[in-house]
Chains A and B, each alone.
Chain A
Amino acid sequence: MQSRTYAILMAVVGFALFVVVVATNLIIDPQHVFGTGLLPRSPNANDRYERLHAYKAAPQRYDGLIFGSSRAVSFSPDELARWVNGVSFANFAVAGGTVVDYVAILEFVLRDKASRGERLRTVFVLLDVDDWGQQPFTNKTLEYLMPPEISGQNPLRFWWKNLIAIQFKAWSSTVRAARKADAGMQRGESGTGILQSALSVLAPSSANAQALVTAPPPAKRERREFITHGIDYRHKLNLLERFVALCREHDVQIVAVISPLSAQNADIYDPVDLGIAIADVSRIVPLWDFTNSKAVSNNPEFWFDFSHFRPEVVQMMLRRMFGGEVPPAWASFGRRLP
């Protein structure tokens, strides 16, 4: 065998592997960024990219923004619009969303609005103060990658990263989800995408919003975490200050909310420290704090899991914030700070 043949064959095999990866990413599109559309939306879809894409499709339609993490998925823009003087909200609630994302998106939208001579009226922001000390997921992996318009990164890098990623888990989960959706269609079930299936999970359960059934509190922990000692705590406070300053500078109304915590979740943190964190945040922006109701926290009926609350809770949050009627059991749910 000649060295030339050896070298060329090695290079060819290497490039063939590379081409297979690129083709697989384009066909399966696990982050749902290429828009090939051959398979239904993946569970690993990059919702930051999708939210921006949806906004850019009709930016003139929106004069409000919803910010939040996956906990905010139960907030419907239409429902919110009914409470906030008909503001039309673009939804930027994203998985693992933090103030890092909110500031970047707000800056982008304000620039965009200014360039078209439009105005942003209101932002609704759901703050997960329990995650305040932790480093954000943003830009850590492909599904959390900010779109280049927002991150300021070179667009080539964004597309390159999505093209060349070797991601067996994401590929297989997308194909599995597609097969599942296909089987559902064959059985005559409605709804095609993962988003629909996710939303069906989020539909109201048998929980009765009138009754606050209190479960026994979880067993006491020996060691609790301190949010304010977290490595990202100060940075996030600074970013929130920037967020608020931007809103004030552009005369944008802020509706800020601290999300309720399940008992399991709240039990992770030192209660005094949690109080300090809430106070720190409320010093920057007036807000509604919904961490205070033990009845909601302890009732598993109001929770999808230890982190995400159900739409019944959202309903009561909106009524409490905007002066709607609430059943007597919910009268002390949430408090205005400061």
Chain B
Amino acid sequence: MTQSPVHVVDQQTDLWAEHRDRVYRYLLRLTGEADTAEDLTQETFLQAFRDLHRSAAAAANTSAWLMRLATNRAMDMYRRRRLIRWLPFLPDRHGGTAEDTAEALARRDLVAAALRRLTPEAAAILLLRDAEGFTGPEIAAMLDLEHAAVRKRLSRAREAFRTEYLRLKGDAP
């Protein structure tokens, strides 16, 4: 089935409008760098526009498919850089400030610092599962892993986060 160019552009516009914030937020938390997250978001969508009609995964679960592209772009970047740099996470300036009490701010710093101490893969799995709410099988498909391997990495990532957070908080286990 062929699609008219106008129709394709409409679909791309919808995809962009609906998903760009979520992809950007995920990449922002994963990389901790606003500029990098912006660049990776653009790369993710450029690839998504190319593959939109070729990928069965795109139609089956669009968010999961986009997160897969985003995660791959981020991991590619880390491989390119070779040296993994974890710069400070930026606190949100707009929105989501419902909890902007001093204690929430202090705690957010600890959470960002604890995430920075994980490997990018571990941070990605934690964010995809515990922040973005994707299921184990969805994450397995995104990361080209068996579901059992996702479980193993998820349990290790939760343990690593727990250890790092308690250590930073001063309650070393």
Decide whether A and B are members of one complex: no
Name B's A-contacting residues (CB within 8 A). none
Name A's B-contacting residues (CB within 8 A). none
